Chain A
Amino acid sequence: MTESAIEFSPERTTPFLQEVMERSGQMLTACYQCRRCAAGCTVGDETGCFTPNLLIRTVMLGDRETALSNPLVWKCVSCYTCGTRCPNDIQTARITETLKKMAKEEHVEPMMPKVKEFHDAFVESGVRWGRVNEVEFMGIYESKAALREAKVKNYDAIVEEIKAQARLGLTMFKKKRMHTGFLMASGRREIKALYKKAQEMTTIDQ
């Protein structure tokens, strides 16, 4: 008797699949692997063949570890091309967004930490002042990245990053594209109250 190429146990698979389907709002089981998503994937050249259909199959097989840590989840730019073209209306970008959140909740080290740091910094800035201040937000983002690199004593990476951002910042300043004033919404209290509520409801994404 030949050995099965993939191991499949419904007891282990079903809860994970159910959770991803409920939180992303996407009917993963409708996928029949036609690969229209794969053909149109914006980051197809960058993810080493880890295409949206493959991510769906990974979740269906209950491979939690791979589902939370693969190039597609972390390189997906949420362009929504796959979902727009899917004959079964599966929006895989919603699945990658859900898996990013699940990885964070389960303290899985993100494959691309800068992606997580970027979105966290953006939301922090927006919630704190009610509006995102580009300079402050980039500052928070860069400090998060620098702190992580400093922990592993990767000082060269910090210097390179600062150099690159300083170059861009200087050009933006010269072209009058850098804003020096400060933006704020007085209704930020409402946003903070909503954020608090949002954190209490992390598992109810839909």
Chain B
Amino acid sequence: MEIGYYPGCSLKQSSALYDLQSRMVFSLLGVELKEIGDWNCCGATSAGKVNDFLAVAMPARNIGIAEAAGFDEVVIPCSACYSRTLVAQKRLEENPGLRTEINSELKRKVKNGLKISSILEVFMDRIDAGAMKEKAVKKFRGLKPVCYYGCMQTRFPYTVPVPDNVENPQGMETVLASVGVKALDWNCKTWCCGASAAVNDADTAFSLMAKIMKEALQRGANCFVVTCPMCQLNLDAHQDSFCEKYGIEERLPVYFITEVVGAALGFAPEILQADRHFIDGTTLLKELEEHEQK
């Protein structure tokens, strides 16, 4: 089976490991991710703060490209790209005038009917198809992750159909359970990491991330699992800084969902490029694997 794939700028740069893991993991599960041609930046959260027309126009071009290529479904692993594209599609549907304006500049016009899926929705389909259970070969019973969704996975600036519970989502927990990993319950699933504030207002972002970190530690977590490359980079790259500022001694690796699923499917941490974390991600996976073999 093939589905369209929009990686976005992060997955081609600082979060290239997420791109690689997504392709590998889904390929093993029987889904080939076909990157759509000549895609452009979705505008992320910045476009909406600079110009609203542009915030719809940028994802619109990608929707047009995916539709013209004949895809029924396109998966967007990055939570921000997913949110912006889903919102743009909704606004184009509701506002024919806006759609005509934007389409007039596009070589491949937006039609309709493209299904825009988050990475969790594609995993859910694989669970339903029985592929996850069948392919899960390694056990990580000592892994105690807290699933961190952040903002963009469940909360949207416009009313769009949300495929999960807004305040207490279960998507990641369900995906992990399907490969035998039991996630912990906690309070900060949908709290905000500060996103770009880590760059332009570090005091605010560090205070937000320290609260999230403290709650994860109190629950006894030994790692975070995320879908959003922005959340991943923030909690990982700034962890030493915000922990030092707030007197937190422990450190926790921040895994992409594809990394933990990938490990359970039998990929070695090096193959998953788990060594590209700021907070060591390979040691925990290897220790747990050895522990299972004893």
Q: In the bound complex, how far is the Cα of B15 from the Cα of A187, in angstroms?
A: 23
Does B47 sit within 8 A of A, measured CB to CB?
yes
Q: In the bound complex, how far is the Cα of B237 from the Cα of A183, in angstroms?
A: 23
Nearest CB of A to B115, in Å: 23
Whose C-beta in chain B lies nearest to the C-beta of A165? Answer: B199
| Chain A positions within 8 Å of B101 at CB level | 197
Nearest CB of B to A139, in Å: 13
Does B244 sit within 8 A of A, measured CB to CB?
no
Nearest CB of B to A12, in Å: 26
Does A199 sit within 8 A of B, measured CB to CB?
yes
Q: In the bound complex, how far is the Cα of B200 from the Cα of A202, in angstroms?
A: 25
List CB contacts (< 8 Å) of B1-57 with chain A: 9-10, 12-16, 38-41, 43-54, 57
A123 touches B51 (CB 8 A): yes
Does B196 sit within 8 A of A, measured CB to CB?
yes
Residues of A within 8 Å of B, CB-based: how many? 63
Nearest CB of B to A25, in Å: 8
Nearest CB of B to A77, in Å: 5
Does A83 sit within 8 A of B, measured CB to CB?
yes
B40 touches A126 (CB 8 A): yes
Also in contact, A117 and B9, with CB within 8 A (given A131-B41, A168-B237):
no
Q: In the bound complex, how far is the Cα of B278 from the Cα of A168, in angstroms?
A: 10
A123 touches B47 (CB 8 A): yes
| Chain A positions within 8 Å of B207 at CB level | 45-46
B46 touches A119 (CB 8 A): yes
Q: In the bound complex, how far is the Cα of B49 from the Cα of A45, in angstroms?
A: 23
Q: In the bound complex, how far is the Cα of B199 from the Cα of A172, in angstroms?
A: 14
Could you say which of B57, B194, B277 contacts A198, with CB atoms under 8 Å apart? B57
A-binding residues in B (CB < 8 A)? 9-10, 12-16, 38-41, 43-54, 57-58, 61, 101-102, 105-107, 151, 155-159, 166-167, 190-192, 194-197, 199-201, 203-204, 207-208, 233, 237, 276-278
Between-chain CB contacts (< 8 Å), 18 pairs: A43-B204, A78-B195, A81-B192, A83-B155, A84-B167, A119-B196, A126-B58, A127-B54, A130-B41, A141-B200, A179-B13, A186-B38, A191-B40, A197-B101, A198-B51, A198-B53, A205-B53, A206-B52
B-binding residues in A (CB < 8 A)? 42-43, 45-46, 75, 77-81, 83-84, 89, 91, 93-94, 97, 100-101, 112, 114-115, 117-120, 122-123, 126-127, 130-134, 138, 141, 168, 171-172, 175-179, 183, 185-188, 190-191, 193-195, 197-199, 201-202, 204-206
